[in-house]
Each structure stands twice: as structure tokens, then as C-alpha cells.
Structure 1
């Protein structure tokens, strides 16, 4: 599982100019089964995405296509973790330590 933290590197008007394309990109990732949750940070200086993939390369490839990244209005911090405890709805993403 991965936590993707976006940090805006441009003014909000530049971010908002790409927002519709970014949302369309998000929808594509949800349809692929890559993303589980996403949303804005508060205060609005970026966002957070919870993602699942077999490896980091798939995440990096998806990020490279994000209109926010392509447009140079954000940076990504990617943190991989093993979900050893989850809500029942996320049980299929649990990993056994070891």
C-alpha cells in the first residue's frame, strides 16, 4: 500500500487551471483499481492519495501522468507501507509481517 502526498509548488490559480484534468486522471486510477481514497489537505496546500499496487514502479508511472505533475504545479512524496491491520472493508489489502 502507498500513501501519496502532493504538495503544491505553484499558486492555487495555476493548480485550479489543471484541476478538471487532474480529477479525470484520478477517476482513471480509481477505475484501474489503483486508488482507494483521495482528497485535499487542510489547509489547501496539496492532497493525499491512498493507493495499492504490486510495486512502486506502477505508482511512479501513474504519478508521471498526473496533469498536476506534468504541469509542474506539485511534487509527490511516496511512502510505501505494509497494512498489517485494516478496517474490514480493506481486509484484502492486509499483509502479514515477515
Structure 2
């Protein structure tokens, strides 16, 4: 599993101009069972996405499609972690 951490580097007004496309991007990867959860940080300085993927390279390829990445609106970092415990409802996604 991967944590994708976004830190916004432009004013929120500029970011919001691309929000609809960002949400379409998120939905695409929810439909493919790659994204597990996502949301804004509090305060609104960025966001977090939990993703299931086979490699960091796969995650980086997926990130490259994000409008926030394409338009250089946010910086992205990826952290891989091994799930040792998880909610039973995630069993099918993680297997």
C-alpha cells in the first residue's frame, strides 16, 4: 500500500480551477480499485491518497496523470508501507 502526500504550491484559487478534473482523475482510480481513500489535509495545505499498487513506479505513473501534477499545482511524495493489520472489509482489495 502507498500513501501519496500532496502539498499545494499555488494559491487555492488556482488549484480550485482544476478541482473538477482532479476529482475525475480520482474517480478513475477508485473505479479501478487502486485508490482506497483520499481527502484534504486540515488546514487545507494539501491532500492524502491511500493507494494499492504493485510498485512505486506504478504509483508514479498514476500520479503523472493527476491534473495537480500536470499543471505543477502540488508537490507529491510517495511512502510505501506493508499492511500488517487492516479492516476486514479491505480483505478482497488487499488479496
TM-score (norm 2): 0.94
Whole-angstrom CA distance in 2 between matches of 1:90 and 1:82: 14
In the TM superposition, residue 89 of structure 1 has moved relative to its aligned partner by: 1.2
Whole-angstrom CA distance in 1 between matches of 2:28 and 2:90: 20
In the TM superposition, residue 91 of structure 1 has moved relative to its aligned partner by: 2.9
1:34-82: per-residue Cα shift (whole Å, max 9, x none)? 1000000000000000000111111100100100000111011100000
Partner of 1:86: 86
Alignment of 1:7-86 (within 5 A): 7-86=7-86
* Structure 2 unpaired stretches of 5+: none
CA RMSD for the aligned pairs?
Answer: 1.1
Whole-angstrom CA distance in 1 between matches of 2:12 and 2:51: 24
Whole-angstrom CA distance in 2 between matches of 1:20 and 1:34: 19
Instruction: Count the aligned residue pairs.
Output: 94
* Structure 1 unpaired stretches of 5+: none
